[in-house]
Amino acid sequence: MHAADIVLEARWVVPVTPRGAVLEHHAVAIRDGRIVAIAPIAETRHRFADAPRVTLTRHHALLPGLVNAHTHAAMSLLRGAGDDLPLQRWLQERIWPLERNLAGAEFVHDGTRLAAAEMLRGGVTCCNDMYFFPGEAALALRSLGMRAVVGILAFEFPTRYAADADEYLRKGLAARDALRDDALIHFTLAPHAPYSVRDAIFDRIAILAEELDLPIHLHVHETQEEITQSLAQHGCRPLARLDRLGLVGERLLAVHAVHCTDDELALLADRGAHVAHCPASNLKLASGIAPVTAMLGHGINVAIGTDGAASNNRLDMLGETRLAALLAKGAAADATALPAAQAIECATLAGARALGLGKRIGSIEPGKDADLIALDLSAPEYQPCYDVLSQIVYSAGRDAVTHAWVAGRAVLAERTLTVGHAAEDAVLAAAPWQNQALQWLRQQ
């Protein structure tokens, strides 16, 4: 017999790699937060006879935890505050003024906890965050047991967090130093966007990325207006400018990438860059539809993100994955585009790879961290089930998520967050911020 801290038994285990694989009546054994075995249930009951086990129902599927490849978690407190506006008006008339008035350290902590509660309940065990006060955001995500990838933000505009891009970087690097020993906290360099960061800061970020071995996470080619502005100011498109500055490479996670030519997609592919596709936010802000089928055809690693709740308005990765699959088919006029198995990979392993975590999370394999979720597909709306992968992508909602584990620790059990009264606390903390935001909106 072998030792295990816990064994999870399920009707289906979806390991993600190899793509499309489904293991029926299998179990996953976990020790010291890592996966030590995936085998038929009968075999694990013999090999790990003394281990505690969670026997899920005959309609449960066990998957890697979902990886939200791009979000602004604290903006959950601005959900619905700027609806039905295009991106630049949304930013300039609503979001940036509200942030100037509200977005201090306490706001970021409370908003990020609210986001963490929502994401965990929807099966997201890891998120890639970009916002002010990254140290406070990291601790808020960590307080609910989530794995956190947090951006060291760079931005030219003064906020409550920093006066200029140099101060943003200095404070972000200090937060990284303070949290560097936490196994669940990871960092990226996060210059906001080409239109909000000058060349000198991009030069510094390129150097820091190499020195610190960090991914680079930024918005790029989100709108046509951004490209027009770059042509006028820099004489080239944003991606060409980033390439000239040495940022287009394996470290780059290009968020949105809605307006890319075929040559630009070829550049991203040749350099090994990644894309974070945020379909709902792109639609809601009328930014456009990213050419995901073409991206995949070029061999680009495409992950999925929700963006923030202020522009989505849900941090629902299952819903986002379904939308991504449907949009890919409609935009390409090809029903075979982004099939279910590949869509699940985009929501898990592709996100992990984009964040430099592909060897640790994103698939169910021995040696990887046990970041896992369980979906109950027994409800009438999920029956009958001919193909569990298709059912997960095209039918399942986040209400199907019943359990989640991060590094082997249960963070959601029977649809209830297991860290104290986390959900209730997060909702209560949101109320006073809502009142302040409403007061500002009424004055406009």
Beta-bridge partner residues of 185: 148
> Residue 432 has what pLDDT?
86
pLDDT in tens, 332-386: 999 999 999 999 999 999 999 999 999 999 999 999 999 999 999 999 999 999 9
pLDDT in tens, 295-339: 999 999 999 999 999 999 999 999 999 999 999 999 999 999 999
- The DSSP string of 185-217 is EEEEEEE--GGGS-HHHHHHHHHHHHHHT--EE
pLDDT at 427 > cutoff 90: no
> Residue 139 has what pLDDT?
95
Per-residue pLDDT, averaged over 132-156, amounts to 96
Would you say 192 and 169 are in contact if contact means Cβ atoms under 8 Å apart? no
pLDDT at 434 > cutoff 90: no
Which one, of 361, 440, 337, lies nearest residue 103 by Cα? Answer: 440
Which one, of 374, 354, 279, 375, lies nearest residue 320 by Cα? Answer: 279
Would you say 179 and 148 are in contact if contact means Cβ atoms under 8 Å apart? no
Architecture of 66-354 per CATH?
Answer: Alpha-Beta Barrel (3.20)
Instruction: Please state which CATH number belongs to domain 6-64+364-413.
Output: 2.30.40.10
Q: Which of 105-114, 115-124, 254-263, 430-439 has the lowest mean pLDDT?
A: 430-439
Per-residue pLDDT, averaged over 80-102, amounts to 90
Which one, of 365, 280, 294, 370, lies nearest residue 333 by Cα? Answer: 294
Q: Where in the chain do CATH 2.30.40.10 domains reside?
A: 6-64+364-413
Task: State the helix-helix crossing angle for 105-121 and 422-443, rounded to 10 degrees.
Answer: 130
Helix, strand, coil shares, percent, the chain, to 5: 45, 20, 35
Under the banding of pLDDT at 50, 70 and 90, the label for residue 444 is confident
pLDDT at 274 > cutoff 80: yes
Cα of first residue to Cα of last residue in the chain, in angstroms, is 68
Which pair of tokens denotes residue 136? 């406070």
> Residue 439 has what pLDDT?
85
Would you say 60 and 22 are in contact if contact means Cβ atoms under 8 Å apart? no
Q: Where in the chain do CATH 3.20.20.140 domains reside?
A: 66-354
Would you say 221 and 275 are in contact if contact means Cβ atoms under 8 Å apart? no
Q: What is the chain's mean pLDDT, rounded? A: 95
State the Cα–Cα distance between residues 131 and 190, nearest whole angstrom.
9
